[in-house]
Amino acid sequence: MTYPVKNRRLAQWVQEVAALCQPAAVYWCDGSRLEYDRLMAQMAAAGNAIPLPRRPNSFLFRSDPSDVARVEARTFISTSSRDDAGPTNNWVAPDDLKRTMLDLYRGCMAGRTMFVIPFSMGPIGSPIAKIGVEISDSPYVVCNMHIMTRVGTRVLEALGADGQFVPCLHSVGAALAPGQADVSWPCAPMAQKYISHFPEEDLIWSYGSGYGGNALLGKKCFALRIASAMARREGWLAEHMLILRLTSPAGRRYHIAGAFPSACGKTNLAMIQPTLPGWRAECIGDDIAWMKIGPDGRLYAINAEAGFFGVAPGTSNRTNPMAAATVRANTIFTNCALTDDGDVWWEGIGSPAPAHAVDWRGRDWSPGRGEPAAHANARFTAPAAQCPVISPDWERPEGVPIDIFIFGGRRAGVVPLATEAFDWEHGVFLAATASSETTAANIGAVGNLRRDPFAMQPFCGYNMADYFGHWLAMGERLGPHAPRIFYVNWFRKSADGKWLWPGYGENSRVLKWMCERVDAAAEAQATPIGYLPAADALDLGGFAIPAENLTELLRVDRQAWLAELPDIERHLARFGARLPVRMSEQVRRLRERLETDR
């Protein structure tokens, strides 16, 4: 069998996978609109894709109830040494994992088409971009990859005869016997789901799930888990971060990269609409930032993706009008409810619940039933280019220069509204100890405190102690060109449980202070935990906030922070001897500052 590709390594790998998985046919994706429309029409004819007449060229899918989210318990980092994977990852020895998965892959694509999906993470030809090739037996995956990455013939041309690529093998794990009818969402039982990463080989194998990041292997698997290991080896950063451009009334541009755990406002910040007169914001990316040091010594970032894979519930014209506008057409919806007039609906969409709908499981639904109409993790896949505030430079090959890093979490108390790190090392410490109180969107009981370093705990492809060390080393390389590091908490509450800060567009007031700090044009007060805005440093023009709220938002409770220290120490102790000494030293310094002049 011959294939339309110059790259011998790729041609050989495709042959090997076809021999192993035994598909009925092999199809090379060209990335064209015709291809997308044809596959979507086939899925619609089969009843898998439901056309949505209220949203042009948009479709609704319903997954199997066992296949609705990332499965972290079935996600593996496979390295020669368990310690190289570290305490935050599930580890299996490479030989053992491959033996298990090869048995599952044998004949797994029988009766199905094997799609070969060449894709670029980042603009094709960008010096920061990387190429991958996903093999999948799911047309749903192909169509989502069309939106989330750059797919097709142009990628093969960029790859050439000798180019390097990351092999990404995926199967839903549901072979079809001759004459066997397919199901609307094929997948394997939970115990047979494997999302496996081999960072020493830059290799991804996924089996048994057709959903989201389990199957769209360019997303978390490549863009973070494998890319983070590549970045450490090659001296760059692959991060779970939004990228935002903020422009002042004077025309000064600032580029911000921000990392937040789930349910902490990351997408809202990526598409923020500033309430400050004259300030403008443009979205460059909402989830993935790849960053390399440029010829001028500064750190330049690209959005490695081409689309948004967002959580639908809670997205509305009030919470995120730009996201709501983005999904009005050309969008794939998964596990939303279907209204009788052919539109999607979810809890928090901003319109009243319909009198009748079909829920995400395909059952009749009406208000008061006691179960949500849309799954809590219902998703939309939409082209980034459709976002009304997408930056004209969002596909700039060389990227944009980062001025500011923001980290944050959801805390009802203790953590102030905004803190600036004393220096790069202290900023790494703030990010390494980032914390959030769990919500319904997180794993674990609601209200528990969870440490999520750099918002990367589920996504770092190697030992996070070494990851902290890599960030410290990048700071040394950047020197005076290193971005400023800040930590925010939009979620402080009063003693009676009311929000102290309104969030959303008003967060631009905090962003303005950060930008002014970069330009040495705003005051800050030194505290034991970092620099906080001075009492009059935040621009509150046209904004009424009770004075007691602002005082509490900018207060450092030394006793509360001293009570926090044991949890920080337990968190860092997990990493044992591999933890950089400078992180332990940061804990000691924090304690010393908190205990001084008590």
Question: What does the block give as tokens for 286?
Answer: 């909402």
Rounded Cα distance between 213 and 69, Å, is: 8
Residue among 394, 356, 376, 406 nearest 508 (CA): 406
Catalytic, out of 264, 283, 387, 460: 264
Amino acid present at 282 = E
For residue 102, what are the CA distances in angstroms to 20, 80, 106, 175?
A: 8, 18, 6, 15
21 has catalytic annotation:
no
Contact in structure between 167 and 152 (CB atoms under 8 Å): no
Residue among 411, 407, 403 nearest 426 (CA): 407
Rounded Cα distance between 356 and 143, Å, is: 30
Rg of the chain taking only CA atoms, in angstroms: 24
Size of the chain in residues: 598
Contact in structure between 322 and 388 (CB atoms under 8 Å): yes
Amino acid present at 380 = F
- In sequence order, the 6+-apart residues with CB closer than 8 A to the CB of 504 are 268, 272, 273, 319
Residue 124's φ and ψ, nearest 5 degrees, are: -60, 130
Secondary structure of residue 280 in the 3-state scheme: strand
Provide the 10 A C-beta neighbour count for residue 80: 12
Contact in structure between 136 and 142 (CB atoms under 8 Å): yes
For residue 371, what are the CA distances in angstroms to 65, 345, 375, 579?
A: 14, 14, 9, 45
Q: Is 550 exposed, middle or buried (0-12, 13-18, 19+ CB in 10 A)?
A: middle
Alpha helices (runs of H) in 433-580, residue ranges in sequence order: 464-478, 508-518, 547-553, 558-573
Half-sphere exposure at residue 387, Cβ-oriented, CA atoms within 13 angstroms = 30
Question: What does the block give as tokens for 365?
Answer: 């639904």
Provide the 10 A C-beta neighbour count for residue 28: 17
Residue among 282, 268, 265, 382 nearest 317 (CA): 268
Question: What does the block give as tokens for 596?
Answer: 């001084």
* Residue 37: its H or E element: helix 33-45
Amino acid present at 195 = I
Rounded Cα distance between 10 and 278, Å, is: 51
Helices (H) and strands (E) in the chain, counts: 16, 32
Rounded Cα distance between 363 and 581, Å, is: 56
Residue 193's φ and ψ, nearest 5 degrees, are: -85, 130
Rounded Cα distance between 473 and 477, Å, is: 6
Active-site positions? 264
